[in-house]
Amino acid sequence: MAEVVFEHVTRIYPGNDKPSVDDLNMDIKDGEFLVLVGPSGCGKSTTLRMLAGLEEVNKGRILIGGKDVTTMQPKDRDIAMVFQNYALYPHMTVADNMGFALKIAGTPKDEIRKRVEKAAEILDLTEFLDRKPKALSGGQRQRVAMGRAIVREPKVFLMDEPLSNLDAKLRVQTRTQIAALQRQLGVTTLYVTHDQTEALTMGDRIAVIKLGILQQVGAPTELYDTPANVFVAGFIGSPSMNLNTHPVVDGKAKIGSDTIDLPADIVAKLTPEDNGQIVIGFRPEDAGLATADDPNAFSLKVVNVEDLGSDGYIYGNIITDDSVLEASAMMSDQNKLTTIRVNPRALPKVGEVVKIKIDPVKMHLFAPSSELRLN
């Protein structure tokens, strides 16, 4: 197996003056499952394709197992790819599809059959080996594509959004299978997705990328609990974090017509570029309903409620004096509404005004000018 290292890697496509991937420094440890996540067009697939040798590296170098592969042909890199579309040969059986790369490489027939049967057993495909791809479901076809990668016994697996063609239920099942399979085989894996739920549930570590620039790399809990900047905070987690810019008055944050205490050492870190403001982030589960006279609570007008049985969510606008304040455009998926998770048996009614208190220990504070974490 092998460690993968990106050293100051940059890719600029012809005709572009801006890099699609800019000065990327990242390492994937031997046997690690690293998930590369970010919005569409952020440079995830370009990074994967550079590692595969399908894209040219304009600056920097890529190492696999300590060996510089930057200019090496894809076939010499000892990698196997699994794509979003299964790319199976329709006229071949499952067994022939899985063993095709070995056949081309001149591997003996009995060795091919042995490896194919072993992979089929791992993937629960033994009974389908003599079928053609058209007789399989989407999930089974994706497992065949995985099998084709496994039989090659490569140093590195590269997976480019392999679950995006599957329906929701199958995606959850296959997600679990892929993660378990990778741990069983212990092959170094780079997995690309834009689905942060996939990233949180599958990866040993997650790398978040935005506009070609690496934002943060860490364990799923690290990115969830201590995001390095506003982008990572808003991107990781579902429902996403509530993020808003508020004025700082006498060492307190003014949220609507209410104020909440801020740590003095954090206020001291704000610079003139921050214009006397601070970005406050909190996850829906890190705030709750408060009493009317709680000094550290703010008012929220309830716009919508959701009862999910095990959880309840309220969505609302912060009240400022006699009007309502919409959450800022930093919010990613709540239509500019502040989201709070509450006991589903104590859901307020739509139109009600409730008091909300944020757990001060779980509050995320960022500088508006740099968008970097302060606490």
Question: What pLDDT, on the 0 to 100 scale, is given for residue 325?
Answer: 58
Question: What pLDDT, on the 0 to 100 scale, is given for residue 323?
Answer: 56
**13 vs 212: CA distance, rounded Å:** 12
The pLDDT-based confidence of 261 (bands split at 50, 70, 90) is very high
139 or 321, higher pLDDT:
139
The pLDDT-based confidence of 77 (bands split at 50, 70, 90) is very high
The pLDDT-based confidence of 169 (bands split at 50, 70, 90) is confident
The pLDDT-based confidence of 227 (bands split at 50, 70, 90) is very high
Question: What pLDDT, on the 0 to 100 scale, is given for residue 332?
Answer: 44
Least confident of 89-103, 294-308, 325-339: 325-339
Average pLDDT over residues 233-244: 90
- Give tens-digit pLDDT for 113-138: 998 998 888 888 889 999 998 988 88
- Give tens-digit pLDDT for 347-362: 999 999 999 999 999 9
Fold of 4-234: Rossmann fold (3.40.50)
Question: What predicted TM-score, i.e. pTM, was given to this entire model?
Answer: 0.88
The pLDDT-based confidence of 241 (bands split at 50, 70, 90) is very high
- Give tens-digit pLDDT for 95-119: 999 999 888 888 899 999 998 998 8
Give percent of the chain above pLDDT 90: 61
Question: What pLDDT, on the 0 to 100 scale, is given for residue 331?
Answer: 44
166 or 226, higher pLDDT:
226
Question: What pLDDT, on the 0 to 100 scale, is given for residue 150?
Answer: 86
The pLDDT-based confidence of 336 (bands split at 50, 70, 90) is confident
User: In whole numbers, what is the pLDDT of the chain averaged over residues?
Assistant: 89
In this predicted structure, the answer to whether residue 324 has a pLDDT above a threshold of 80 is no
Question: What pLDDT, on the 0 to 100 scale, is given for residue 322?
Answer: 53
> Residue ranges of the domains in the chain?
4-234, 240-366
Homologous superfamily (CATH) for 240-366: Nucleic acid-binding proteins (2.40.50.140)
- Give tens-digit pLDDT for 177-202: 888 888 888 999 999 998 888 899 99
Question: What pLDDT, on the 0 to 100 scale, is given for residue 87?
Answer: 82
- Give tens-digit pLDDT for 7-37: 999 999 999 989 999 999 999 999 999 999 9
